[in-house]
Amino acid sequence: MSHDHHDHDHSHDPVTTSGEPPVATRVRALEELLVEKNILQRDEILQRIDWLASRRPGDGARLVARAWVDDSFRERLLEDARQAALELGLDPGPSPVVVALENTDTVHHMVVCTLCSCYPKALLGPPPAWYKSLPYRSRAVSDPRGVLREFGLTLEENVELRVVDSTADIRYLVVPRRPSGTDSLDEEALAALVTRDSMIGVSQPLADA
């Protein structure tokens, strides 16, 4: 088994005069060639970039906040998260199936993709660098409580920690528990408490300030 090198999510190549690493030049050259060969159109690439840039965890947070205040929506979300997202006018992304995993006072979920980096990016935005990193992919399954402690979360022993390894085309989203003392908050204020990391399952939502 090869040594575990310092894991690079981002390139450490020397920067060129343009300020970008050499790999950037190669990617741009690839795009140029593909457009010249009429394999791709420049405007559809730009549209795709715009779509990526517009993806935010706020979409996932809206699903969670609605589920917190509306019990029948919560049931629909747990039944079919893709359909529930469409119901709120959100883009669930290209995955044919999205599953929402509900945390309770006895079960806590945490999501990883050990084989690559599968992630519900339509609803959460791009995955954080650490989610794609080799140590997270390794330890999230074998030492999840250790990983959670690194993220500042210590789960009680009586809480079942369920780690979900996203090995196929299903995308998983965690529905964290509603923080206590939030009865007076409206949906928008509740959504503001739902962080990206709480929907991956490595931390809890924010407590009401």
Partner 1 sequence: MTFSHGDAVRVASRPHDGHHRTPSYLKGKLGIVERVHESFPNPETRAYAEDGLPPQRRLYLIRFDQHAVWVDYDGPSGDGLLADVFEHWLEMPA
Partner 2 sequence: MGRAVHDRGGWPTDEPIDRAEHDLADWEMLMDAIVGTLGRHGVMNADELRRAIEGMPADEYEAASYYERWLHATETILAEKGVLLPGELDERVAS
- Give the number of residues written for the chain: 209
Q: Is 118 a catalytic residue?
A: yes
Residues 6+ apart with CB under 8 A from 44: none
**In this structure, are residues 85 and 66 in contact, taking their beta carbons and an 8 Å threshold?**
no
Query: Which of residues 56 and 162 has its CB atom nearest to partner 1 in the complex?
Result: 162
Q: Which of 167, 187, 188, 189: binder of partner 1 (CB under 8 A)?
A: 167
Q: Does 143 bind partner 1 (CB under 8 A)?
A: yes
Alpha carbon distance 41, 12 (integer Å): 30
**In this structure, are residues 158 and 104 in contact, taking their beta carbons and an 8 Å threshold?**
no
H-state helical runs in the chain = 22-36, 42-54, 57-69, 71-79, 81-87, 121-124, 129-132, 134-142, 144-150, 187-191, 196-200
Q: Which partner in partner 1, partner 2, none is near 97 (CB below 5 to 8 A by kind)?
A: partner 1
Question: How far apart are CB 2 and partner 1 at their closest, in Å?
Answer: 15
Q: Is 117 a catalytic residue?
A: yes
Query: Which of residues 20 and 87 has its CB atom nearest to partner 2 in the complex?
Result: 20
Q: Which of 16, 45, 75, 88: binder of partner 2 (CB under 8 A)?
A: 45
Q: Does 136 bind partner 2 (CB under 8 A)?
A: yes
Query: Which of residues 102 and 143 has its CB atom nearest to partner 2 in the complex?
Result: 143
**In this structure, are residues 92 and 82 in contact, taking their beta carbons and an 8 Å threshold?**
yes
Site residues (CB under 8 A) for partner 1? 96-97, 99, 114-115, 141-146, 157-158, 160-170
**Catalytic center residues:** 113, 116-118
